[in-house]
Structure 1
Amino acid sequence: MINTRIKNYGIILIGSFLFCAGLNWFIVPLGLYNGGTVGISQIIRTLLDINIGFDIAGILNFMLNIPLLMLAFVHFGRSLFFKTFFSIITQTIIFTYLPIPTQPIIEEYAVSCLMGGILAGAGVGITLRAGGSGGGLDILGLYLTKKSKDFSVGRFALIINAIIYSVCAILFELPVAIYSILYSMVYSMAIDKTHLQNINTSVMIFTKNKIICETILHELNRGVTYWKGVGGYTEVDTYVFYSVLSKYEVRILQENLKIQDPDAFVVVTEQDQVLGNFEIRL
């Protein structure tokens, strides 16, 4: 258990570095902007025009995240809070001290957006896979999603980022907003490819061990339906369990099955859409 926690915090540290590196090495040198609280922090930093030897965007981002961290602690539990707090602290330190090139590493804007988006998005994705979060408006979006089933984290992020990039277009040059949007698109796709919680699956499990039901209900906190069946060849009684899980949760289930019933037969099918009372998680 302790080794798993240490591993998760190590993954979050790596994810934070990749996110900050993607921004500081490829996006900031071109004068482009991230979305969310980081983007808001970057705009404030630019408007303040304070030169104290390091980028204050990381510190501003930390300050904006304080009320959101409190929201995470109250509504999403200590585990997410501490991992998110650790992620934001490491991001603040790395943002502040990771050198920003005086000249762009890649002068071609589109290529820089591609590289920065892949690097930053992968960093956020693996942070989420470790059970953490980069904080920011995702927490607020998740909270609003719990309050209203018609709301979604993605929709909320889209609205906020549209406002941020509209501000960029007004305050700065239009190409700044356009290339920032391009970066944001690549960044979002990279997150989706690395964050398994974004991929929902239907799972059917054929097993003789009913304890699998307890694992799904109490460890994964997901609903499950089961019925009794009979093997067509063996004519032996068996249980059939059906549940909808994220790909991340399927991995946890597989680890439990190795212990509880190594002979269980599992069918996993990716779903394009899940309607009804299905909780969206980070």
Structure 2
Amino acid sequence: MLCRHSVILAGGLLISLGINLFLTPHRLLDGGMIGLALILRYLWGMKTGFSMIMLSLPIFLAVWMMDRRMFLNSFYGMLVSAWLIDWLSPLRGTIHWPILFSALSGGLLVGTGVGLMLRFKTCTGGTDLLAQLIADRYQWNPGILIFLIDAVIIGIGSFILTPVQLFHTFLTISAVGLATSICVKKPQAAL
């Protein structure tokens, strides 16, 4: 139990640092609910973590009916991540890296945070939760599913991005997908 709490806290911290230190200073997007919450932040100044919670509630209601254990673990992961994103938001702008390094660093941090949570059967909710449910049912890699969903979200958010931001956002979600896939990959059996 303590291990799961530690993983959720570590994952939420990595996600929060990736968003606050690297993505928001350059107005980059992630995919999924985080990406949608960032769109709301960039358009109307809404708090990213709070928006994540509000946007994820309909999915959590559906999951409540299907898998209550996953609901509880993921709801907790989403609350911790959302709270850390908003609590650590004063860190925005404290690191001044070029957009390329920020896109890759932010994506690797977010992807590692998400991957740690998925490895312990929890997540930040929203589209990660949908990807985990589909992956468990069909034995697919959740990192690949998250990447595909993220690409759709980026397409939705592309109207608020400059071409440079859009390019670096695709680098970000590629780094997120890579890091998530590495974290959740099951070790191969020895011959």
Scaled by the length of structure 1, what TM-score is found? 0.60
Question: Does the CA-based 8 Å contact 2:21-2:93 persist in structure 1?
Answer: no
State the Cα deviation string for residues 96-143 of structure 1 (Å, max 9, x = none).
110344536133111112221222222112222233112111222344
Matched residues in 2 for 1:109 and 1:39: separation? 17
Alignment partner, residue 186 of structure 2: 199
Greater RCO (CA < 8 Å, at least 6 residues apart): 2
Matched residues in 2 for 1:62 and 1:121: separation? 19
Q: Which has the higher strand share?
A: 1
Residue type matched to 2:21 in 1? W
Residue type matched to 1:170 in 2? F
**Equivalences for residues 52-67 of structure 1 within 5 A:** 56-67=47-58
Aligned residues between the structures: 191
Choose from 143, 147, 159 the match for 1:170: 159
- Asked which structure has the greater CA Rg, the reply is 1
Are 1:128 and 2:118 counterparts?
yes
RMSD of Structure 2 on Structure 1 (CA): 2.6
Question: Does the CA-based 8 Å contact 1:58-1:92 persist in structure 2?
Answer: yes
Q: Which has the higher helix share?
A: 2
- Percentage identity across paired residues of the two chains: 24
Gaps of at least 5 residues in structure 2 are none
Are 1:190 and 2:179 counterparts?
yes
Matched residues in 2 for 1:187 and 1:154: separation? 8
Are 1:180 and 2:172 counterparts?
no
Q: Relative to structure 1, is the Cα distance of residues 17 and 46 closer, same or farther in structure 2, using a 3 angstrom cutoff?
A: same
Q: Relative to structure 1, is the Cα distance of residues 60 and 199 closer, same or farther in structure 2, using a 3 angstrom cutoff?
A: same
Scaled by the length of structure 2, what TM-score is found? 0.85
Matched residues in 1 for 2:131 and 2:10: separation? 24
Q: Relative to structure 1, is the Cα distance of residues 21 and 139 closer, same or farther in structure 2, using a 3 angstrom cutoff?
A: same
Secondary structure, aligned partner of 2:124 = coil
Secondary structure, aligned partner of 1:7 = helix
Matched residues in 1 for 2:133 and 2:91: separation? 37
Matched residues in 2 for 1:141 and 1:102: separation? 29
Matched residues in 2 for 1:102 and 1:156: separation? 29
Residue type matched to 2:4 in 1? N
Gaps of at least 5 residues in structure 1 are 51-55, 202-267, 271-282
Question: Does the CA-based 8 Å contact 2:118-2:132 persist in structure 1?
Answer: no
